[in-house]
Amino acid sequence: MKIVFFTNKCSHGAALLEQLKNKDVPLEAIFIEESRRSRKKLRKIIKREGLFGSLRLATRKLKKVFGHRDDKSWLKNEFYPAFAKKVNVVDNFNGEQCERLLLEIEPDIIILGGSRIIRDNIIRIPKAGILNAHPGLLPEYRGIDVIPWAVYNGDNAGVTIHFVDAGIDTGNTVAQKVIEIETGDTIDSLRKKAETIAGELMSEVVLKIISGEDVSRLPQPSGRGKLYRKMPEKLLRETEKKLRERQHE
């Protein structure tokens, strides 16, 4: 069975790769997305936000991305050959270059370890489908920043493994696990826990598929749940306070 891994070089993807390797899940290839449009996008941000505004945005993003793991080796392409037979760098996961390389490999499964929204031309390629580890309990929590949103709403945070379809986090679910909140937890520590759980659950699901076991695909109820957007900084600070209060209930 040929398994391909997509990543935009993030801590989430690194955690998945480490767990897959620990469980001896073989990867045919890793696809890394490095867009040539990044510099153009950066120039637009600087023009819109100004130099100091751009620095504030960059600091916020770096804090979010780098805060979960001490080891940053996954930022370098040299990190990835240890996990797969081949590493391909592409400009766009939905682009012609990526599609052509995938058609040559003929993968059975694609695993997402940090990616843009995947389009139909890629979704239809793998025989078994595309799997994603979403850091939220579907169908209630779709979108981004769903761990802090769940804490803010007083709900459980968790991880869902699901197949990818044309929607955003709307594909059939195959596994879920709630994140246990412990004394001293912060939003960052919950995100780190989510990465570990994501790797464990993804490995279990993929090993079942490889061994020929049936994997239950549970359709998500239509119209249920909410698509969340990025949580504002002010609300994030309120959420941290709510999390501390929740630990003392």
Nearest C-alpha neighbor of 159 from the set 8, 24, 101, 169 = 169
Which long-range contacts (C-beta less than 8 Å, at least 24 apart) are formed by 72-76?
73/14, 74/9, 74/10, 74/11, 74/13, 74/14, 74/17, 75/9
CA distance 49 to 129: 40
Are 15 and 123 spatial neighbours (Cβ–Cβ below 8 Å)? no
Q: Which of 68, 134, 162, 248 is catalytic?
A: 134
Q: Which residues contact 111 (CB under 8 A, 6 or more apart)?
A: 3, 4, 5, 6, 16, 20, 130, 131, 132, 202, 206
Q: Phi and psi of 122, rounded to 5°?
A: -95, -40
How many degrees, rounded to 5, is the angle at CA 167 between CA 98 and CA 164?
A: 55
Report which DSSP code applies to 218. B
The CA-CA-CA angle for residues 34, 68, 166, to 5°, reads 50
**What gap in Å lies between CA 184 and CA 55, rounded to an integer?**
30
134 is catalytic: yes
Q: How many CB atoms lie within 10 A of CB 81?
A: 11
DSSP summary character for residue 3: E
* CA angle at 172 for the pair 83 and 200, rounded to the nearest 5°: 35
Report, as residue numbers or ranges, the catalytic residues: 134
